[in-house]
Structure 1
Amino acid sequence: MPEAARAPDTLVAPRRPPTSSGGNMEPKIVGTVMPVLELNMQPNAKVFAESGQLSSMSMAIQMQTEYLAKAG
């Protein structure tokens, strides 16, 4: 199998500024078959995601949901 077609053992996200608000985060993609984005967040940091995309969180995390109607 060509090297480019073979999946790596572990994926790691490149270091770049987060696209969320609230300061620095340490993003890391863990796993290969079902990869998960792991974030180490600072107090008052925010992350925006689509419905159903949060798989787990620590007790210190507060979740707030909003319904945004699409204009159309």
Structure 2
Amino acid sequence: MSGDRLEQAAEYRRQAQEIRTIVQTIWVAEAREQLLETAEHLEALAKAEECKAHPDSAKPKPQSET
């Protein structure tokens, strides 16, 4: 199950990198901005999938009392 989530996260990151590569060739500022926003969204999706795959690592660590 977590392997599927990690594969999905990797796919989101691959798509994000493809978009960033395309952005380097685009000169229209608005189109570049939209593509960069899409890439950031894909990165967020990748992070969410990784958190679902490793739920223990996403939990905040308890602070020790002093």
Query: Between Structure 1 and Structure 2, which shows a larger proportion of strand residues?
Result: 1
For CA contacts below 8 A with separation 6 or more, give which structure has more relative contact order. Answer: 2
Answer 1 or 2: which has greater helix percent. Answer: 2
Same fold judged by TM-score > 0.5?
Answer: no
Structure 1 length-normalised TM: 0.22
